């Protein structure tokens, strides 16, 4: 069964990880811009990083594993708190959104739910709405339900196209909040976010419409094979294969197929 992993930070992984992921069925991945483990101290560091994931990682995915690799670009929330630097970065984000293979905006959202984070969040939501691009939203690590509540409020206040948005990193504590919107719902199968068994339990309760699994697969303890393993566990638990395929392939395909730069052919 083929898989699209819609949230993998493969810049943090080895070529062997690309190969293992491809062998496990991941034919396509999306790499959102994110906090790379250490705060950046100048805007130029962001632009170098954007170039790396757009050019080098897309080439590396194809060259090492024959995998389609796409990117979303954005100022992640943690570094939005450096306001002067953030303003300089956001001035140039639009030029990257027109690049091939950039398929959306993200990941954006909240870290500590500060005023500066909300300013950057709203500005990038406007960029995405103007361009009709998909958006990946990061829910905060701390006080996640309150942060998710604020995200849903902002989306509603701004009158955004909710079908273009995925609220990611959901848990059993946020699912009721996120599903009050018409946004897509992401589950990151990652230590400290949600375990695959718990995510599958939530699918049994809430269904599979607009539900998406991803691995994040970054520099911290994580697993680039998290989605294939969840696929196998769903099958072992007796799920209909078409429903499994919907979660790990059809839903992420439908979400990113809204982008004019998403050219993956299933």
pLDDT of residue 141: 87
Angle of helix 15-23 relative to helix 57-65, nearest 10 degrees, comes to 60
| Model confidence pLDDT, tens digit, residues 151-172 | 999 999 999 999 999 999 999 9
Region 175-191 average pLDDT: 98
Which secondary-structure segment (H or E) carries 131? helix 115-131
| Other C-beta atoms lying within 10 Å of the C-beta of residue 126 | 13
pLDDT, averaged across the chain: 97
* CA gap 249, 264 in Å, rounded: 12
pLDDT of 142 = 87
Locate tokens 């293992």: which residue? 20
Where are the chain's structural domains?
3-256
Rounded to whole angstroms, the Cα distance separating 85 from 150 reads 24
User: What is the per-residue pLDDT for 220?
Assistant: 95
The third-level CATH classification (topology) of the domain covering 3-256 is: TIM Barrel (3.20.20)
């Amino acid at each position: 069964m083929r898989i699209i992993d819609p949230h993998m930070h493969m810049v943090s992984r080895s070529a062997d990880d690309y190969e293992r992921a491809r062998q496990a069925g991941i034919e396509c991945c999306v790499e959102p811009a994110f906090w790379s483990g250490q705060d950046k101290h100048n805007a130029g560091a962001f632009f170098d990083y954007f170039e790396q994931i757009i050019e080098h990682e897309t080439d590396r995915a194809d060259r090492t594993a024959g995998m389609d690799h796409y990117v979303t670009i954005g100022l992640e929330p943690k570094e939005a708190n450096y306001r002067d630097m953030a303003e300089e970065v956001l001035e140039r984000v639009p030029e990257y959104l027109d690049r091939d293979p950039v398929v959306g905006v993200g990941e954006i959202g909240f870290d500590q739910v500060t005023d500066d984070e909300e300013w950057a969040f709203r500005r990038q939501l406007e960029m995405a709405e103007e361009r009709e691009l998909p958006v990946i939203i990061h829910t905060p690590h701390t006080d996640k339900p309150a942060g998710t509540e604020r995200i849903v409020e902002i989306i509603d206040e701004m009158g955004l196209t909710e079908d273009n948005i995925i609220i990611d990193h959901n848990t059993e504590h946020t699912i009721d909040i996120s599903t009050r919107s018409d946004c897509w719902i992401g589950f990151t199968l990652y230590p400290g976010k949600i375990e695959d068994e718990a995510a599958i339990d939530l699918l049994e309760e809430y269904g599979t419409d607009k539900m998406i699994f991803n691995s994040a697969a970054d520099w911290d303890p994580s697993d680039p094979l998290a989605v294939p393993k969840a696929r196998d566990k769903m099958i072992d638990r007796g799920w209909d294969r078409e429903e499994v395929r919907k979660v790990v392939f059809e839903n992420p395909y439908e979400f990113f197929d809204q982008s004019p730069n998403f050219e993956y052919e299933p």
